[in-house]
């Protein structure tokens, strides 16, 4: 796969999975545009200073005007990868409207607005493109979402968005897909679940490899897929 000189947006690019995706894209010659929320987040980003990296302040991905302005400044957008999101583990009695709306804004609305802006940019350039969302295992297996109903509902909505949008924009040469990870092997997850069998969790580099394929021109036919990336878990 070659991403040489292709402009690609990666939301959530400063996180564990995002850093793996950005690093692989930079290695393949991509021009990466990574929005971030705080200066501290940008300062500790491993790829900061790379000549092909554009770090941009974008405090809220649920702010339609800010998202549109960000995408409007990117020439010839090829791909938009939506890793940014949030997680909440809480039983229904502790999941009030505020928590539910937070999950919807973090996981669904942010990807919706970024997808909308990306489609506009890709149609303007006329060269097609790729959109990759990050769903989750409970989006495909909702029964595993017990005690995290708000998260599960928001990720299921994201899966629905992926299916519908893939059908809508296929005629423009824009292929829309998603990956659905299980628990990934990250320092934060190891800390929160110290007794788990880490060997069964997919590594962020492995999940990143699937994302890169879906975002590449090598992917010529796959659209509307929610690809499980569970590892051995």
Say which DSSP state 44 is in: T
SS3 call for 227:
strand
Catalytic position from the list 36, 71, 151, 230: 151
User: What span, in angstroms and rounded, lies between the C-alpha atoms of 109 and 89?
Assistant: 19
Beta bridge partners of 174: 129
71 dihedral zone (left: phi>0; alpha: psi -120 to 50; beta): alpha
Cβ atoms 125, 73 nearer than 8 A: no
Cα–Cα distances (Å) from 85 to 29, 42, 60, 111, 229, in that order, read 26, 17, 11, 9, 17
151 is annotated as an active-site residue: yes
Nearest to 47 by CA among 86, 21, 65, 73: 21
List active site positions.
Answer: 151
């Amino acid at each position: 796969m070659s991403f040489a000189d292709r402009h690609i947006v990666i939301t959530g690019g400063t996180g564990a999975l995002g850093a793996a995706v950005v690093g692989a894209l930079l290695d393949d010659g991509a021009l990466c545009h990574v929005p971030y929320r705080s200066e501290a987040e940008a300062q500790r980003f491993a790829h900061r200073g790379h000549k092909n990296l554009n770090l941009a302040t974008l405090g809220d991905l649920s702010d339609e005007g800010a998202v549109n302005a960000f995408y409007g400044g990117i020439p010839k957008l090829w791909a938009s990868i939506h890793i940014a999101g949030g997680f909440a583990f809480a039983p229904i009695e502790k999941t009030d409207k505020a928590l539910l709306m937070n999950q919807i804004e973090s996981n669904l609305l942010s990807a919706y607005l970024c997808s909308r802006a990306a489609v506009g940019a890709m149609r303007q350039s006329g060269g097609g493109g790729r959109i990759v969302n990050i769903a989750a295992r409970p989006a495909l297996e909702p029964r595993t979402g017990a005690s995290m109903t708000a998260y599960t509902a928001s990720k299921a909505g994201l899966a629905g968005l992926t299916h519908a949008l893939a059908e809508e924009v296929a005629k423009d040469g824009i292929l829309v897909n998603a990956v659905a990870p299980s628990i990934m092997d990250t320092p934060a997850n190891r800390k929160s679940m110290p007794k788990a069998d880490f060997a069964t969790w997919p590594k962020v580099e492995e999940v990143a490899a699937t994302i890169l394929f879906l975002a590449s021109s090598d992917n010529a036919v796959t659209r509307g897929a929610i690809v499980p990336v569970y590892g051995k878990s």
